[in-house]
Structure 1
Amino acid sequence: MNPLKVSRLPVVVAAAGAAVLLFSAPAFAHVTVQPEGEAAKGGYAVIDFKVPNERDNASTTKLEVSFPTDHPLASVMPQPVDGWKVEVTRSKLDKPLEMHGEKITEAVSKVTWTADGKGIQPGYFQKFPLSVGQLPEDTDELVFKAIQTYSNKEVVRWIEVQQEGQEEPENPAPVLELSAATDGHHGGGSGDTASSDESTPDSGTAETAAASADSSDTTARVLGIVGIAVGVAGVAFGVLARRRRPSS
């Protein structure tokens, strides 16, 4: 083999390995939003904004989340997060909302979290929970826009909206997927009715259950008797076989 080709082999292998790592490396993590459980249309939900730290030499010290103006949310309540202070900004609505028979003239337009201490350090992430509602019924998703600020004053804007049929943008905006509306999303009395039905079953259901239990018991007894008979027959067959075996 040509010595020159042999000397080039490690270089080629290394280059190929680097190319594989380059094209197979996962995309950088970004700010996302997910419900705890589900976010049903027309109902209320607890949602978490998940914020990773993508820098090695700085901490995340601030997060600003702007709420959609085309589907405003009247009720937004943050859950306290240790080491962070939170501010909820409300704005006047161009068109009032109607909720529980009352007109709502303003809604939350932005929520801002600011670190009291070190913030989100390199290699860590933080969740910021919110209770929100009433979720709209005329859309399948809510698009939020988030701004992440680092301790070195760097600002990353997660505001690019995903376009259908196109690749994910470099800095995608957090998107909350909404599930189908449920009958009980307004907190009606359906749960009480179900509880009442379960605690007082009708006589037909009780009779059916009793009949099923009797049938299962009878089947078990028959199978037990058949098993015993098969066992006795097997023993008898073995004894007869030994008696018929010629002596040596």
Structure 2
Amino acid sequence: MSMHPATRAAGRPAAAGAAALTAVLTLADPASAHAEVEADIPRALARNLTLPFVSEAESDSAGFQRVRVVLPDGIAPGDVTLADAPRGWKRKATSDGYTVVGPALNTGTDAEHKVRIRRLPDARQLVFKTVETYADGEISRWIELPTGGAAPEQLAPVLEVQGATEAAATSAGPDRQKAAGRSGGVSAGLVAVPLLLGAGAWWIRARASSGSG
């Protein structure tokens, strides 16, 4: 039985749409591994925030043995403690970040670790350049920065940070507290000056009236 022409015409857009969807899904599938960082609602100035890092395995012959992370401005190596890592892996501080290293993982196993940050800086975007080393010496460098053009092939892990809460901003540290104290002192001084001037004028008038009496 032959298909009605209208039925065939209606079927062509549906088939084309299915083919297009298949192509999109195919292109969306990542062709290579990557490194990433994430957090639950990361806010500027947040304290004791845990950041999970994931390095996806891409070697067919060896497993991860070392992951080195360069910290962004505003986070010092001493502000970082290791919260979780593969069994036997330890954290070692470096001049610009830290390294987690230990027994080689099984081939094809992702390297996952978590660090606790004492306090996030007041920034909207934090870049954590990451260098991964496999047991056979192969190195993957995820250190390229995002730009306005095409995405780089080896993009460094980027954490998007939300604005600080009011509580975090008011307890941002001694420097901000001192600045707030200085501002309050200036305001109090500005209020006190007219009061002192008024008191002085009253005292002069009172003396004048006493003398004339």
Within-5 A mapping of 1:145-160: 145-160=129-144
Specify whether residues 148 and 133 from structure 1 end up closer, same or farther in structure 2 by C-alpha distance, changes over 3 A only.
same
Deviation at 1:167, TM superposition (A): 1.8
Partner of 1:128, secondary structure, is strand
Does residue 178 of the first structure (1) align with residue 181 of the second (2)? Answer: no
Cα deviation per residue 1:66-115 (whole Å; 9 max; x = unaligned)? 112x33335211124223122123x4xxxxxxxxxxxxxxxxx2110112
Q: Which structure 1 residue ranges, 4+ long, deviate > 2 Å from structure 2?
A: 20-27, 70-74, 183-188
Q: Tell me if 1:62 matches 2:63.
A: no
Q: Percent identity?
A: 29
Give the distance between the partners of 2:29 and 2:79, measured in 1 at CA.
40
Whole-angstrom CA distance in 2 between matches of 1:115 and 1:148: 12
Contact 1:43 1:186 in 2 (8 A): no
Which whole-Å CA distance do the structure 2 matches of 1:55 and 1:87 have between them? 24
Q: Tell me the TM-score normalised to structure 1 length.
A: 0.53
Shift of the 186–127 alpha-carbon distance from structure 1 to 2, 3 Å rule, reads: farther
Supply the distance in 2 between the matched residues of 1:120 and 1:34 (Cα, whole angstroms).
24
- The Cα offsets for residues 120-169 of structure 1, whole Å up to 9 and x where unpaired, read as 531x32321111132122x21111111011122111111000102x2211
Aligned partner (choices 45, 52, 67) of residue 56 of structure 2: 52
Structure 1 partner of 2:112: 127
Task: Write the letter of the residue equivalent to 1:79.
Answer: A
Give yes or no for the alignment of 1:136 onto 2:136. Answer: no
Name the residue aligned to 1:113. Answer: 100
Aligned residue type for 1:151: A
CA drift at 1:48: 0.9
Aligned length: 147
Distance 1:47 1:187, change over 3 A: farther
Deviations 1:146-194 (A, max 9, x none): 1011122111111000102x22111111111111211333797xxxxxx
1:88 equivalent among 85, 90, 93 = 93
Q: Is the 8 A contact 1:53 1:120 kept in 2?
A: no
Q: Distance in 2 between matches of 1:120 and 1:175?
A: 27
Kindly indicate whether residue 60 of structure 2 is the aligned counterpart of residue 40 of structure 1. Answer: no
- Offset from partner CA, 1:180-225 (integer Å, 9 cap, x none): 211333797xxxxxxxxxxxxxxxxxxxxxxxxxxxxxxxxxxxxx
Q: When you count strand as a share of all residues, which structure comes out higher?
A: 1
The whole-number CA distance in structure 1 between the counterparts of 2:127 and 2:61 is 30
Q: Which amino acid aligns with 2:97?
A: K
CA-based RMSD: 2.6
AA in 2 matched with 1:65: V
